[in-house]
C-alpha cells in the first residue's frame, strides 16, 4: 500500500475527498500524514477527526525557505511517504525539495492548464472572458503549475458567473480528478514520458 502525505493550507475539501475515498477503499493508498503551513487551516481538523496525524509547520519558525522545506521533507521522510499530494497548498517549493520527491508530487489546480496558472485561477478565467475553464492534476516540477498533466476536466463558464460561482462548479470536479489521479499513481498506472503522462488502465 502506497503511503501518502498531503500538504494543505486551507479548508481542505480536496483532502476530505481523499480521506473519504480512502475510507471507501477506493484510494489504493493510505494517507499517513497531513501537513499544513497555516495554523487556521480547517484541513488540520479534518485529518484529526479521522485519526490521521496532522502537523503544523509554519514558515515563520524558520530562517529561510530552504530550512522550512527541509523540515517538511524530514517529516515526509519520517513517515516514509511514497507520494506527496498538494491539496490547496499555497506555497512554492525549493528546487531541493522537488528534486528529492521528483515525479512523486501531485498538485490539483482550478483551471485547464496551461491557462490561468497561479492564484485565483477561476477569477483570471472570468476576467479573460473564457467560455470554458475547469481543473487539472499534474506532477510538480520547478516551474509553477507547469508539470506534466495527469487529468483534466472542463467546466462551462456562464455569462453571469463570478469567481465564486465558477469555483463552486469546478470544485467537485477537482475532487474527482484528484482522487482518480492519486489512485492511478498508487496502482502504479502512471508513466511520465517527457511532458506526457501515459495512463496504463
Ligand atoms: C482548490 O481550488 C485548489 O485547486 C486550489 O485551492 C483550492 C483548495 O481548496 N489550489 P480545498 O482547501 O481543497 O478545499
- Going by CA atoms, what residue is nearest to atom 2 of ligand 1? 110
With b for 16 or more beta-carbon neighbours within 10 A and e for fewer, the 87-120 pattern comes to bbbeeebbeebbebbebbbbbbbbbbbebbeeee
Ligand 1: atom nearest CA of 86 is: 10
Could you say which of 3.40.50.170, 3.30.450.20, 3.40.50.300, 3.80.30.10 is the CATH number of the domain covering 108-201?
Answer: 3.40.50.170
Whether 145 lines ligand 1, by a CB cut-off of 6 Å, is: no
Q: Rounded to two decimals, what is the model's pTM?
A: 0.97
pLDDT by residue for the chain (201 residues), tens only, comes to: 999 999 999 999 999 999 999 999 999 999 999 999 999 999 999 999 999 999 999 999 999 999 999 999 999 999 999 999 999 999 999 999 999 999 999 999 999 999 999 999 999 999 999 999 999 999 999 999 999 999 999 999 999 999 999 999 999 999 999 999 999 999 999 999 999 999 997
1-101 belongs to which CATH class? alpha beta
Residues of the chain with CATH 3.40.50.170: 1-101, 108-201
> Is residue 175 flagged as an active site residue?
no
Amino acid at each position: 500500500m502506497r503511503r501518502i502525505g498531503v500538504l494543505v493550507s486551507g479548508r481542505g475539501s480536496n483532502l476530505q475527498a481523499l480521506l473519504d475515498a480512502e475510507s471507501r477503499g477506493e484510494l489504493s493508498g493510505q494517507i499517513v500524514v497531513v501537513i499544513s503551513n497555516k495554523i487556521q487551516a480547517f484541513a488540520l481538523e479534518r485529518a484529526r477527526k479521522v485519526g490521521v496525524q496532522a502537523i503544523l509547520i509554519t514558515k515563520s519558525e524558520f530562517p529561510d525557505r530552504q530550512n522550512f522545506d527541509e523540515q517538511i521533507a524530514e517529516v515526509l521522510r519520517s513517515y516514509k511517504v511514497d507520494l506527496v499530494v498538494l491539496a490547496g497548498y499555497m506555497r512554492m517549493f525549493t528546487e531541493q525539495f522537488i528534486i528529492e520527491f521528483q515525479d512523486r508530487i501531485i498538485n490539483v489546480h482550478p483551471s485547464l492548464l496551461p491557462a490561468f496558472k497561479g492564484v485565483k485561477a477561476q477569477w483570471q478565467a472570468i476576467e479573460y472572458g473564457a467560455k470554458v475553464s475547469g481543473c487539472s492534476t499534474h506532477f510538480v516540477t520547478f516551474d509553477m503549475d507547469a508539470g506534466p498533466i495527469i487529468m483534466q476536466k472542463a467546466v462551462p463558464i456562464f455569462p453571469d458567473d463570478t469567481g465564486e460561482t465558477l469555483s463552486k462548479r469546478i470544485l467537485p470536479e477537482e475532487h474527482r480528478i484528484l482522487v482518480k489521479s492519486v489512485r492511478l499513481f498508487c496502482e502504479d498506472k502512471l508513466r511520465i514520458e517527457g511532458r506526457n503522462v501515459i495512463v496504463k488502465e
